[in-house]
Amino acid sequence: MNNIAILCSGGDVSGMNPALKRFVEYAKEKELEPYFVYDGYEGLIDNKIEKATYSDVSGIITRGGTKIGSARSKRFMEVEYRKIAKENLDRLGINMLLVLGGDGSFRGVDIFYKEHGVKFCGIPSTIDNDINGTDYCLGVDSALNIIKTSIDAIRDTASSFSRVFVIETMGRDCGYLALTTHLTSGAELCLIPEMEYELQEYEEEFKKQIANGRRYFIAIVSEGIKQTSQEIANWFEKSIGIEARICVLGHIQRGGNPTVKDRLMAYKFVVNAIDALLEGREESVICYDRFGFNFKSIKEVTGKKKELDKELLSYL
Ligand code: ADP
């Protein structure tokens, strides 16, 4: 019998639990023995590897986060700990690995494959949607919906009090979350790292809007821009003359129950990834674009910074 394991590495996302559920079901359908590795590469080193059962995944499809935990692991960067990880897998006869994570996690598992031949398929999982080679990463839609709900709620209070709300989204140096929610939430201002800006260029227009009766502004700013949210808020108060508040959404964006889209994408990512391993694809990352699923090498995925969708950017 072929044994297969799954682990979550790096930041967790909403959609990992549906992926775990499908993993157990589909592995069994394919007559594979499914195993969970708890706490990412740390668990691989510490032998936290257990057979996964149907009851392990019962009821988890509705929950954000990941039932098997996720972690970063400094030790996995070192050759001697990867050797221990391999010995742990060997004892259980596991020679295939699904890794839910980002490009760092894929780099790690690729090195592991090159040293020890454990076949893998990486499933892009990050709310930032910043992995090169794929248009979609697991967790993005759930994060977008959390941000949307937050902005809708903030709008209620902003409009009542005649205030500016500067809402800061995650995304590191990728403005995807900010830009997408800007376009779908009717915000007045969106600042992202991919776009150069000078606040003074907005001054005349915003003052005119206030003179014409505008009571409030929603500004969505991505965490990676050149200024802090506080500086943006200060500019609104000093230059536009309207009271401003900051709302840093932070880790709330990673939580919440997975949306239908993330449940379905989790399902498809896992099925296609397991099929690819069984068909002999030994070292790849499963990617998704408008033509459907495809498989890319680690080099293609990690070698280049992902560019923001040009069409979305053109609307800014
Ligand atoms: P992400 O997968 O979200 O990009 P990180 O960059 O933090 O997250 O990487 C997650 C984990 O992947 C690291 O903590 C480490 O265990 C492993 N990893 C990353 N790069 C390497 C590498 N060059 N060699 C071995 N392991 C690595």
**Is residue 231 scored above 60 in pLDDT?**
yes
Q: Is 185 in the pocket of ligand 1 (CB under 6 A)?
A: no
pLDDT confidence tier of residue 262, bands split at 50, 70 and 90 = very high
Quote the tokens at residue 246. 């900051």
Q: Are residues 210 and 282 in the same domain?
A: no
Separation between Cα atoms, residue 122 and residue 242, nearest integer Å: 48
Residue 18 and residue 101: Cα distance in Å, rounded?
Answer: 15
Span 221-239, mean pLDDT? 97
Tell me, yes or no, whether 7 and 132 share the same domain: yes
Residues 128 and 272 in one domain: yes
Q: Is there an atom of ligand 1 within 6 Å of 125 CB?
A: no
Residue 32 and residue 29: Cα distance in Å, rounded? Answer: 7
Residues 99 and 199 in one domain: no
36 lines ligand 1 (CB under 6 A): no
Looking at residue 161, its pLDDT comes to 85
Q: Which domain holds residue 41?
A: 3-139+258-305
Report which ligand 1 atom has the smallest distance to the Cα of 125: 3
Give residue 303's pLDDT. Answer: 86
| Interval 130-184: pLDDT, tens | 999 999 999 999 999 999 999 999 998 888 888 999 999 999 999 999 999 999 9
Looking at residue 1, what is its pLDDT? Answer: 55
How much is the average pLDDT of 231-255?
Answer: 96
Calculate the average pLDDT of the chain. Answer: 96
Q: Which of 253, 268, 293 is the last residue of a domain?
A: 253
- Give which of 70, 85, 193, 76 is closest to 138, Cα–Cα: 70
**Whose C-alpha lies nearest to ligand 1, atom 9?**
104
- Residue pair 285/107 in contact by the 8 Å Cβ criterion: no
Q: Is the CB of 103 under 6 A from ligand 1?
A: yes
Are 119 and 7 members of one domain? yes
Between CA 58 and CA 75 the distance in angstroms is 32
The verdict on 213 and 111 lying in the same domain is no
* For ligand 1, mutation pick of 46, 98, 105, 126 (most atoms within 8 Å of CB): 105
Please indicate, yes or no, if residue 315 is contained in any of the structural domains. Answer: no
Active site residues: 128
* Average pLDDT score over residue span 184-209: 96
Write out pLDDT tens, residues 28-75: 999 999 999 999 999 999 999 999 999 999 999 999 999 999 999 999
